[in-house]
A and B are shown apart, each in its own frame.
Chain A
Amino acid sequence: MWQALYVAIWLSALLGLAVPLGRYMARVFSGERVFLTRILRPLEKLVHRLCGVDETREMTAREYGSSVVVFTLASLVLLFLLQALQRLLPLNPQCLAGVHWHTAINTAISFVTNTNWQSYGGEYTMSYFTQMLGLAVQNFVSAGVGIAAFLAMVRGFIRKETGTIGNFWSDMTRSIVYVLLPLSFVFALFLASQGVVQTLRPSTTVQTLEGTNQTIAVGPAASQIAIKQLGSNGGGFFNANSAHPFENPNWVSNFLELLAILLIPVALVFTLGHMLRNPKQGRALFYAMAVLFLLGLGIALASELAGNPALRQLGVENGSNLAGKETRFGIVNSVLWGQSTTCTSNGSVNSMHDAASPVTGLVYMFNMGIGEAIFGGVGVGLMTMLFYVVLTMFIAGLMIGRTPEFLGKKLGPFEMVMAVIGVLLPPVVLLIGAALAVLLPSARASLANPTAHGLSEILYAYLSAAGNNGSAFAGLNADTPFYNLTLGLTMLVGRFATILPGLAIAGALARKKRVPSSIATFPTTGILFVVMLVSVIIIVGALTYFPMFTLGPVLEHVTLTGGGAL
């Protein structure tokens, strides 16, 4: 059972880093001094002065939300222009042309929403200038927006009888300056030391042993890969993402890039506990997420290790499913990565999910389908989890005979509207998008495999967009106007249907009094809470996707195990 041992070691390493980071972030976001304050405070002040931010100015939920929307839309326009005009801009040694309008729109949405869905191939579409000033910058700020929104939501639970939930600009600056930048800096240096390229030189062309010419793409990769892993971005510098040796050269870099996917999302759960002055609450949410994570991981690992029954029938010994995987990483590293990346809305890959077994694909799709609540994207994942908590506590509150509350805040109709939007709107939009895709002949033409597997590919694309994940099931040529636009819209819904309801809940809760807890209050730190929360997530996910998953991965699985081709 060395696989289990490896997972255990990796998890311990993750916790060993995430727990202290969680405490560090809680201090930073509560405005306390940390060991980096001396160095970073001047930088933070400089940013504030340059941008004209008054960090003491408190915002209402409405102001906070408008700031997020304005900032995101402005970034979107800027990113679109950068791509469209890259031919005229510097640092374009490959002389790449301006990006197609619909690809550019899709990419702009994708990167400002922290999705990093890539309907293009990185190395032969985007100039270094676009990658560094456009995509890499968005990797930072879109993650910063996510953390800021999460902070505002937490303040809704902490504060009482006030109309404000913090200052968006200051929250975002602080999360970038104190968390994302230092971590990325260290991580990028480390990656470069392991052989990840970091250069502004153009691609090199070499003559291979067969005598043909091969173009080897290079570029400023290390700096972008660090933040792509840490900030739940996932957009690779190269098309092959972290399966590419220049992005992920060896097992050490793989181990750490894997850690980086989950580091901040996990740490934020503990940060939540510290900020609430209720570390037990943070741990309870961690346990709920960990249960779902390990459940999915176990299923996927079992399925991949069992391998393809069709191969077994052909007499292949030890038929683990190695299709689409880097042999240097093997099954466990690939599945662990796949599970981590689909749980966290990261979306970077080190294996091709398309080639995973149908059951593994089902697990990945479920992770995204429930709205990336299992650790989730930086900040926003925890917000989605809190929506589920609101739903859970509503039912739990009723069943103990109290009007529902969580952390001493009463949950009324308004909070319910927002939680329902946050949990249900993304699935509604993605189902409609996927249904359109299978209905339109032009969209169906993009499919390489028009079968149960093809259905999975389309579903996966929309699940990935709605979850702001960004990973792809491949096999689907999504760089068409239809897919670029519908997926773009789905990404926007996935992003704003999380952040805006979350801020609205924060604003409403901040205005409320806090009800003191008594023996009549349901303890939200116990095992019963964890079990109930996990059940609610699984049941909501199962009820939403039962028919589609039956026709996609489940049908593919029974066909596969039945031995016949469809």
Chain B
Amino acid sequence: MERRTATLIEPRLLLRALGQSLRKLSPVSLWRNPVMLAVELGALVTTVFIGIDAARGNGVGFVLQVSIWLWFTVIFANFAEALAEAQGSARAESLRKSRHDLVARVLREDGSTEPVPATKLRKDDVILLKDGEVIAGDGEVIEGTSLVDESAITGESAPVIREAGGDRSGVTGGSRVLSGSIKVRITANPGETFLDNMIKMVESARRHKTPNEIALEILLIGLTVLFIVVVVTLPAFAGYMGVSTTVPILISLLVCLMPTTIGGLLPAIGIAGTDRLLQHNIIALSGRAIEAAGDVDVVLLDKTGTITLGNRMATELIPATGATREETIEAAMLSSLSDETPEGRSIVVLCKNELGIKGRDIRAPEGAVFVPFSAQTRMSGIDASGRRIRKGSVDAVRAWVESAGGAFSDDLVRRVEALAAQGDTPLVIADGPRLIGVIRLKDVLKQGIKARLSQLRQLGIKSVMITGDNPLTAASIAAEAGLDDFAAQARPEVKLEMIRKYQADGHLLAMIGDGTNDAPALAQADVAVAMNAGTQAAREAANMIDLDSNPTKLLDIVEVGKQILITRGALTTFSIANDVSKYFAIVPAIFTAVYPRLGFLNVMHLTNPSSAVLAAVVFNAIIIPMLIPIALRGVRFRTTSVSALLRLNLLVYGVGGLLLPFLGIKLLDLLIVWLHLA
């Protein structure tokens, strides 16, 4: 599948983000980020001290540099957020363009049509579409069938069928009708389409914080308050010991201690997460749902279309006693030649394979009469050259054979039962009263589904299959695909019951649905993904929409959810671990003038107090832009045991966060002295 990717360093985006980051300096907009607001206040006070020092006739070089770097600290943090937003809106805009300047033919009550611009389409307007036209808005097919190219929206090049009624009636604005004429009822007012939702979502990732973000922010604010008290009381203790302190140095210490790294990058992480889902062609309608995805421990999967290809395929021909293999193949093929159902076609393919005549066209004999499947007979077949070949379920064929004067052999009954016990569907073939053989129909698993399910299991996620099949069939497929649980003979309301049952046990559930009857279950599930091709009801009940309508996407969603949380945790750990080195840089700088013996704390051997403080402040500022790529891309997520994952992240971001700044501050100190800045 091809994915739209936006490179991180696109000059246009960088420029836009830069402009935004200056605009975000306004305290009104920084109010939402208390840690950075505190830094800005610090920067402001330090700036005032440039004037005070200048008026006193002191040198201002040091204070000037400190205040510049404090301002940069805020700007860098704003830049991270602005860049994440710019990426998201760029993606949204490129989608929005696909719908620009469209004119729809709206059907009026008198039957006439009237051209209306896409932006003026209202809910419940009915538009007419024919070959080659672009669909002007989100809607539902109410008449006709057509082949639709959704590549503009989903990036998926294979066209899809959209037809009135059923679960494949949803169409998306921006997709193109390749063939067929359809009537579409518009389901969203201007500004409420999925594109608009998505743009809103990108913006709301900033406005509505998720509970987890709020909890983390509380921790950061708590630490900030603690460090403010530590720094504010420091002059009292220092003064008592005869050490004088200056406001700019105290503010430098404070800003270095405050968790500015994570505080600055936190908003960007959430926005970037939403954006990453978009790269997977999934629109998350709430940030909360993305986080919940990281926690999901049970997924409900529909059998058809998700686990299996959806159609049973013939996999084996078993001759009855007294019939030869060739006879069986011939009868099976004859009975299915005109059978256009997927099962019928798969029988023909199997027979051709058995005979080794792949690809050659085989026709029914002259004068043959095809007997289609009917609800009464529950059989299909062919009458040709005096033969009356039928295939169908065991009971139906048994009745047919017996009415024609034949007898059902015990041997055959046993074979049929054995097949059913393995979860397969047996079709019996008979020619008049004579039994010929059995066709084994099997549900075929989708390619790669086993691997995906085992990946889910490694993440601690149980997969549960929902199917209308009988328990035997369901159990067999569950065993083959490696599912943890299944619900057989499930009516639509069973899904809802199952979700409630799992939730009552404390599980978090994800499900993918498309049909109208999925809507209640989708509304109940913690992570509810509706397929874009699904019905309007399903899409409204869901909190994520999968534009590709690919049910195996759940794994991607879970990974993105986990990535967001891991990135937050990793950068928080890094930010707090950084503080240790900053103490070792600044505290000796404050005290050694009076107490040279405390110089042993200057483990980095920084050149002088000014260079030490500056190095710490500069490191604190530039680490933010240096970590922007991690914040936007997310910390890599590996499918390993949680302990191994935690150990790795602790090592990289905890121990790394402890040690790296010692090196960084030392290098900056050397650089600052080399440039004669302090």
A and B, one complex?
Answer: yes
Instruction: Give residues in A with beta carbon < 8 Å to B.
Output: 160, 391, 394-404, 408, 411-413, 415-417, 420-421, 423-424, 427-428, 431-432, 434-436, 438-439, 444, 452, 455, 513-516, 518-523, 526, 528, 532, 535, 539, 542-544, 546-548, 550-551, 554-555, 558-559, 562
Among candidates B297, B561, B577, residue contacting A401 with C-beta atoms closer than 8 Å:
B561
Cβ contacts B30-64/A at 8 Å (1 or 0 each): 00000000000000000000000000000000000
The 7 closest A-B pairs by CB, nearest first: A520-B460, A398-B569, A401-B562, A420-B222, A435-B233, A399-B569, A435-B236
Docked pose: A532 CA to B115 CA in angstroms:
66
Q: What residues on B are CB-neighbors of A455 within 8 Å?
A: 237, 240-241
**Which one of B236, B642, B643 has the highest number of Cβ atoms from chain A below 10 Å of its Cβ?**
B642
Cβ contacts B19-31/A at 8 Å (1 or 0 each): 0000000000000
Cβ contacts B560-586/A at 8 Å (1 or 0 each): 011101101110110011011001000
Docked pose: A416 CA to B222 CA in angstroms:
10
CB distance B226 to A544 under 8 Å? yes
Docked pose: A488 CA to B561 CA in angstroms:
48
Docked pose: A395 CA to B291 CA in angstroms:
15
Docked pose: A498 CA to B147 CA in angstroms:
66
Beta-carbon nearest neighbor of B505 in chain A: A516
CB distance B580 to A398 under 8 Å? no
User: Can you list 21 residue pairs at the A/B interface with Cβ under 8 Å?
Assistant: A391-B219, A398-B212, A399-B570, A400-B562, A400-B566, A401-B294, A403-B291, A413-B214, A416-B215, A424-B222, A427-B229, A432-B233, A435-B232, A516-B507, A520-B459, A520-B461, A521-B460, A535-B654, A543-B579, A551-B241, A555-B598
| B641 contacts A by Cβ under 8 Å | yes
Among candidates A444, A513, A519, A551, residue contacting B506 with C-beta atoms closer than 8 Å:
A513
Among candidates B215, B234, B642, B649, residue contacting A394 with C-beta atoms closer than 8 Å:
B215
Docked pose: A431 CA to B229 CA in angstroms:
7
CB distance B580 to A543 under 8 Å? yes
Q: What residues on A are CB-neighbors of B404 within 8 Å?
A: none
CB distance B569 to A395 under 8 Å? yes
Docked pose: A526 CA to B572 CA in angstroms:
23
Q: What residues on A are CB-neighbors of B504 within 8 Å?
A: 513
Cβ contacts B457-477/A at 8 Å (1 or 0 each): 011111000000000000000
Docked pose: A217 CA to B647 CA in angstroms:
59
Beta-carbon nearest neighbor of B228 in chain A: A428
CB distance B597 to A551 under 8 Å? no
Instruction: Give residues in B with beta carbon < 8 Å to A.
Output: 211-212, 214-216, 218-219, 222-223, 225-227, 229-230, 232-234, 236-241, 243, 257, 291-292, 294-295, 297, 458-462, 504-508, 561-563, 565-566, 568-570, 572-573, 576-577, 579-580, 583, 587, 590-591, 595, 597-598, 600-601, 637, 641-643, 645-647, 649-650, 653-654
The smallest C-beta distance from A416 to any residue of chain B, in angstroms, reads 4
CB distance A542 to B650 under 8 Å? no
Docked pose: A421 CA to B219 CA in angstroms:
10
Contact A543 to B583, CB < 8 A, known contacts A420-B218, A428-B226, A523-B643: yes
The smallest C-beta distance from A113 to any residue of chain B, in angstroms, reads 22
Q: What residues on B are CB-neighbors of A544 within 8 Å?
A: 226, 230
Q: How many A-B residue pairs have CB under 8 A?
A: 196
Beyond A401-B563, A520-B642, 18 extra complex contacts between A and B, CB < 8 Å: A394-B215, A394-B219, A398-B216, A398-B565, A399-B570, A402-B565, A455-B241, A515-B508, A518-B297, A518-B462, A520-B297, A522-B643, A542-B580, A543-B576, A543-B583, A548-B233, A548-B234, A548-B237
Q: Main secondary structure on chain A at its contact with chain B? A: helix
Contact A518 to B580, CB < 8 A, known contacts A401-B637, A402-B562, A435-B237: no
CB distance A403 to B295 under 8 Å? yes
CB distance A398 to B572 under 8 Å? yes
Docked pose: A415 CA to B240 CA in angstroms:
38
Beta-carbon nearest neighbor of A552 in chain B: B237
Q: What residues on A are CB-neighbors of B229 within 8 Å?
A: 427-428, 431-432
CB distance B230 to A413 under 8 Å? no
Q: What residues on B are CB-neighbors of A413 within 8 Å?
A: 211, 214-215, 218
**Which one of A398, A452, A518, A539 has the highest number of Cβ atoms from chain B below 10 Å of its Cβ?**
A398
**Which one of A403, A535, A562 has the highest number of Cβ atoms from chain B below 10 Å of its Cβ?**
A403
Docked pose: A394 CA to B262 CA in angstroms:
15
Docked pose: A558 CA to B600 CA in angstroms:
9
The smallest C-beta distance from B540 to any residue of chain A, in angstroms, reads 26
Beta-carbon nearest neighbor of A417 in chain B: B218
Q: What residues on B are CB-neighbors of A539 within 8 Å?
A: 576-577, 580
Q: What residues on B are CB-neighbors of A415 within 8 Å?
A: 215
Q: What residues on B are CB-neighbors of A551 within 8 Å?
A: 237-238, 241, 243, 591
The smallest C-beta distance from B213 to any residue of chain A, in angstroms, reads 9
Docked pose: A435 CA to B595 CA in angstroms:
20
CB distance B587 to A546 under 8 Å? yes
Q: What residues on B are CB-neighbors of A438 within 8 Å?
A: 236-237, 239-240
CB distance B215 to A411 under 8 Å? yes
Docked pose: A523 CA to B642 CA in angstroms:
8
Q: What residues on A are CB-neighbors of B590 within 8 Å?
A: 547
The smallest C-beta distance from A411 to any residue of chain B, in angstroms, reads 7
CB distance B569 to A397 under 8 Å? yes
Docked pose: A450 CA to B653 CA in angstroms:
42
Q: What residues on B are CB-neighbors of A521 within 8 Å?
A: 460, 642
CB distance A400 to B506 under 8 Å? no
CB distance A452 to B233 under 8 Å? no
CB distance A395 to B237 under 8 Å? no
The smallest C-beta distance from A409 to any residue of chain B, in angstroms, reads 10
Docked pose: A523 CA to B601 CA in angstroms:
37
The smallest C-beta distance from A201 to any residue of chain B, in angstroms, reads 47
Among candidates B215, B237, B573, B646, residue contacting A400 with C-beta atoms closer than 8 Å:
B646
Docked pose: A547 CA to B586 CA in angstroms:
10
CB distance A398 to B233 under 8 Å? no
CB distance A528 to B562 under 8 Å? no
Q: What residues on A are CB-neighbors of B641 within 8 Å?
A: 519
Beta-carbon nearest neighbor of B597 in chain A: A558
Docked pose: A521 CA to B597 CA in angstroms:
48
